[in-house]
Structure 1
Amino acid sequence: MTNTDLSPTPSTTPSAPAPPAAHPETYDASTRTALEHIDRHAVRVVADHRPERTRTGYAQDWKCWTRFCTESGVPLLALTPGTLTAYVEWLWTQPGWKAGTHLAPSTIDRRLSGTVVSAREEHGVKPEPGVARLARARLSQLVKQMEKDGEQRGRGPAAPLLVDHLTAISAACPENLMGIRDRALVLMHFAVAAREHELAATRVRDYTATPAGIQADLRVSKIRPRTVPVPYGSRPSICPVRAWTAWKEAAGLDSDPDSPAWRRLHSRWHTVMSGGLQPESVGDVITRAGVRAGIDIRFTGHSPRRGLATSSRLKGHDQIAIARQGGWAPHSKVLAGYLEVVDQWEDNALIGVL
C-alpha cells in the first residue's frame, strides 16, 4: 500500500480578476433606489432612539420654521443659505419667554440647527454642506450689535447653586414629606450634576446602595446614559446619600422599585402620589427651595448642575473628572466656560505680582 499525499494541490489556473468597483455615479436606478431606502431606514432608526426631549425640541423647531414660511411665503422645503439667513432675521424679532423680551441668540441658534436636522431626517431634504453658515454669520453680526447697544436677551446663564446654598436650603426644608423630598432632590441633583429630565426619568432601582455611597444610574439623557458614584458627604446635613435614604423610607418607595424615584405629592394632603415629577417640576422644586431658604438668587433647574462644576473646580478637580460626573463631553465648551469663571481668580496672572 502506498502513501497518498492528501494535501490540496495548488491550482495552476490563474484566478479571474475581480470586476472593477463601480463608481456611485454609474449605479443604475434600482441600485440607487435600494441605497436610498437603506439611508432613510438608518436615519429613521437614529431619530427614533433620540431622547424624547430632543425629539420634542426638533418638532418645535420645525413648527417655528413652518410659521416663518407661512408668513414670508418661502416654500417649506426651500432650505438655502438665503432663506435660513432671512429666518434668523425673522427670529430676531420674535417675542421671548416673557412679555417685552425677545428670543435669546442661543435659542435662535438652536432653532436653526433643529430646522436643518428636521428637514434632512424627517422630510428627505438634502441641504448643501454648510447651508447654515451664512445664517450663523448674520446671527453673529446681530449679537455684536446687541452687545454694542447694551441690549440683554434671554434669562442669561443659570446662577450656580453652591455648597453654602445647599446648607441653607437643607436647613430650611421642613421635616415633612415635602421637605424631606425637596432636600433629597436638591442634594442629589447637585451630586450627579443632573439635567432636569435626567433626574425626572430615574426610578427607585436606579439608586443602588453600596458601602461607599450610592451608584446613580441616569439611563435617560440628552447626551448619553451614565452611572454616577455619589459618596457619603462629610456633613450629614447636606449628604445626598443620607437624604435619599430618608426620602425613600419616608415615602415607602421600597415597595415598587420600578416606580419614579421623585414622586409628586398631593396638593392638599401632601401624601405621596404614584406619578413622578416632570422635568419642569424638578426645576420648580429647585426654585422654591431657594426662595424658602431666603436666598436672594433665583435658582433654576440648571443651577445645581452648574454649581457642582463650580464647586468642584474650587476644590481643584480637573475638567475631565468634572465632565465625567456631570456627563459633559471631556472638552465641552459650555463646561469650560463655567470653569473659566473660577479660574480667572484662582489662576490670575496678577497673583503674586501686586
Structure 2
Amino acid sequence: MTNQLVPTSGSPERGIIVPVPHQRPEHFDAETQERLNRVDDAAFEAIAEGRPENTVTAYGQDWAAWEKFCAETSVPVLGVTPGTLVWFVEWLWEQPGKKAGTYTAPSTIARRVTGVTVSARVDHKVKLEEGVARPARARLTQLKNELAKTRETRGRGKAPALKIPHLQLISAALPDNLRGIRDRALMLIHFSIAGREHELAWLRNRHITRTDEGLVVDVAVSKNHPRIVGIPYGTRLATCPVRNWDAWKTAVEELTGEPVDPDEFAFRRIHAKGKSLMAGGITPEAVGDVITRCGEIAGLDIRLTGHSPRRGFATEAVKKGKEREAKRQGGWSKTSRAFEEYVEEAGIFEENALHGIGL
C-alpha cells in the first residue's frame, strides 16, 4: 500500500501520512489487464508443457468425463463452479465401474475433480474462484462415510499384496518361453522398485544399468518424484531380479540378432503367438494384466493387480524392519498415509496382543 502526504488544517507546511488503497483488479486499465493476461498465458503454458505424459493422459480422461456429465445435465462445459463440481461428484458416484455390478471408486472420483479443475484453469484459462473444489471434496467425504456405515465397497478395493512366497510360486509356474521370460523379469523388477504400472511401462533399456552389485534403475517417469533405485542380486536364481533381467535381455538379443537398443522400451510387446516381438512397449494397463495373469498361472487364491507388487514390497520390507529403506526405494514420502496402511498390515501378527496370553 502506498502513502500520501495530506496537509493538516492548522499548518499547510506540515501534514500527516495516510495510506492510499491499492488499485483493485476490476479498476485496472486495458493495457495493464492485457499485460497480466499475457503473464497468465505464459505461466499456464509452462505448467502444461511440464506435465508428465501419464498425467496428461489422466487429465484428458477426467475432462472427457466432465464433458459427458455436462452433455447429460446441460451444464456449460466451462461452468466449473463449486455447485457444478458437487453435482459432478454425485453424478460420478452413480456411474457404473468397468466390471459389472461395480461403481466408480472414490479415489477415481477425487482424481476426476482434480483433473477437471486443473484442466479448466490451465488448458481453458478459466478463472476459478479460490477453493472451488472444496465443497465437492466435502461431498465425496460424506458419500464415503455413508458407504462405510453399510460396509459396502466400490471399485476394486485394495489390491492384495504380492509377497515373497507368491513370487516363488509364480516364477516356478511361468514357462521358459519368450513371454514367460519377459513376465518373470517384469514382475521381479516391478516388485524390487516398488513400482507403479506406468513406471514399469515407461522404462527404456538405458534406464536399467548393469553393475557388479546388481541393477541401477532410473525411474524417470513417476507419479510423484523420479528416483534412482538399486536392485542387488537375489539369493535364489528363480526370483533374482538381476539374473532374470539378464535372461530377458539375452532373449531379445537372440531373437533380433543385435544388441538391445538403449532407447527401446525395456519391456516389449510380444506377438499373440508368443514367438516374436512387436514394435513399442507395453502400456500401463498391460503391466497390470501381466501381474494378474502371473497369479492365475500360478493358481494363487487371490487376484493380483498392477498395484500388488508395490503393496507387497512395502509389506515385506516393513516385516524386516526396513521401513526407511522401503520408503526411499518406492518413492514414498516420510508421512505417506498409504505406506502407513502397509505398516499396519505387516505388523498384525508380529506385534499381536494374543501372543503369550494362554490361548
State the TM bucket, normalised to the shorter chain.
Answer: 0.7 to 0.9
2: CA distance, partners of 1:127 / 1:269: 51
Partner of 2:325: 321
Cα distance in structure 2, aligned partners of 1:258 and 1:71: 44
Asked whether the equivalents of residues 224 and 327 of structure 1 are also in contact (C-alpha less than 8 Å), the reply is yes
Query: How big is each residue's C-alpha offset from its partner over 1:220-273, in whole Å with a ceiling of 9 and x where there is no partner?
Result: 222222111001112222110011011111211734222111112222252233
Aligned mates of 1:170, 1:192 — CA distance in 2: 18
Distance 1:121 1:346 in 2: 49
Q: Report percent identity of matched pairs.
A: 53
What is residue 270 of structure 1 aligned with on the other side? 275
Q: Deviations 1:182-239 (Å, cap 9, x if unpaired)?
A: 1111111100111111111111121111111110111122222211100111222211
* Per-residue deviation, 1:180: 1.3
The question of whether the paired residues in 1 share the 8 Å contact of 2:48 and 2:122 is answered with yes
Counterpart residue number, 1:12: none
Give distance in 1, aligned partners of 2:23 and 2:237.
65
Equivalent residue, structure 2, for 1:342? 346
Alignment of 1:87-126 (within 5 A): 87-126=88-127
Give the equivalent residue in structure 1 for 2:78: 77
Deviation track 1:320-348 (CA, whole Å, cap 9, x = no partner) reads 32221112223221222222222344344
Change (3 A) 1:260 1:352: same
1:211 & 1:167 partners in 2: Cα distance?
24
What TM-score does the superposition give when structure 1 sets the normalisation length? 0.88
Correspondence list, 1:183-222, <5 A? 183-222=184-223
Matched, 1:330 2:331: no
Question: Is the 1:213–1:230 Cα contact (8 Å) retained in structure 2?
Answer: yes
Q: CA RMSD in A?
A: 2.2
Alignment of 1:39-188 (within 5 A): 39-188=40-189
Task: Give the 3 Å change call, closer, same or farther, for CA 346–74 of structure 1 in structure 2.
Answer: same
**Which 10-residue stretch deviates more, 111-120 or 37-46?**
37-46
Q: Is the 8 A contact 2:210 2:216 kept in 1?
A: yes
Relative to structure 1, the CA distance from residue 21 to residue 231 in structure 2 (aligned partners, 3 Å threshold; closer, same or farther) is farther
Q: 2:286 aligns with which of 277, 281, 285?
A: 281
Alignment match, 1:25: 24
Deviates more, 1:149-158 or 1:236-245: 149-158
Per the alignment, do residues 242 and 24 of structure 1 end up closer, same or farther by CA in structure 2, a change over 3 Å counting? farther
Q: TM-score, normalised by structure 2?
A: 0.87
CA distance in 2, matches of 1:54, 1:246: 32
Write the deviation string for residues 77-126 of structure 1: whole angstroms up to 9, x where unpaired. Answer: 22222221122111111111222221111111111111111111111122
Question: Which letter does structure 2 place at the counterpart of 1:196?
Answer: E
Q: Which SS does the other structure have where 2:215 is aligned? A: strand
Q: Deviations over 1:52-95 (max 9, x none)?
A: 11111111111211222222222222222222112211111111
Between the two proteins, the alignment pairs up a number of residues equal to: 334
Q: Can you give the 5+ residue segments of structure 1 that lack an aligned partner in the other structure?
A: 1-19
Residue 195 of structure 2 contacts residue 330 of structure 2 at CA under 8 Å; is this kept in 1? yes
For structure 1, which segment, 224-233 or 251-260, has the greater mean C-alpha deviation from structure 2 after superposition? 251-260
